[in-house]
Amino acid sequence: MSTDPVEDLPLAHRLALAYAPAAARGATLTLLALDDRLAAILRQRTETILAQIKLAWWRDRLNEDAADWPLGEPLLARLADWPGDKRRLVALVYGWEALMAEHLDHSSTQEFVRGRAAAWGALSSALGASSAVPEAERAACEWAMADLVMNLGEGDERERALGLARSLSWRVARLPRALRPLAVLHGLARRALARGGSELLDGPGASLAALRIGVYGR
């Protein structure tokens, strides 16, 4: 793991973060780093129980006062400085935990996307954009749904998730400048889904789309 949290993020997240205004960059990076850490717990799990213990650890920390957190965990140190209500990020843990279900059904899928959407809603509030929370959560829900599709192997689960993703509105996200990284992620997901839902960054066209959204917001 790198000492620079940006370097540990997936490429699409690093690209989106590049368009965050300076005042929002730290809080956005912390959210993306937490999201990626929880995703890694599922990707790297060898035992279901061990993964559940790790997720529960993060859930418990976020429910505690930051003054009670153990020292030595860099991500916790970043979260201690997060400007919003940290307890609102517990939904993100529950969202990732939903993917631990034996079968990825409609209920677990919805809990997953709602959890990630709630985290972006919390970030919107933390950045002083409370009026944008509904739009932020809508955009994050759609991005999370597409992201799930792109990370599922071929089969019935992916087809069901793809059907759910395509049933969403996917109108262009109109978000404040502070949430420009989410606008970029949503726009890339919208583009990828229209092209079959394979990956967010599928060539120069994706980078150009990110540049357009990052600069102009849509």
For residue range 2-55, list pLDDT tens digits in order.
567 888 899 999 999 999 999 999 999 999 999 999 999 998 877 889 999 999
- Taking the C-alpha atoms of residue 204 and residue 188, their distance in angstroms, rounded to an integer, is 12
Whether the per-residue pLDDT at 166 is higher than 60: the answer is yes
Query: In the block, which residue shows the tokens 């932020």?
Result: 136
- What does the buried/exposed string (b/e) look like for 10-26 if buried means 16 or more CB atoms within 10 Å of the residue's CB? eebbebbbebbeeebbe
Question: How is residue 119 written in tokens?
Answer: 């985290």
- What mean pLDDT, rounded, does the chain reach? 93
pLDDT digits (tens, 9 = 90+) for 116-154: 999 999 999 999 999 999 999 999 999 999 999 998 877
Using pLDDT thresholds of 50, 70 and 90, give the confidence band for residue 173. very high
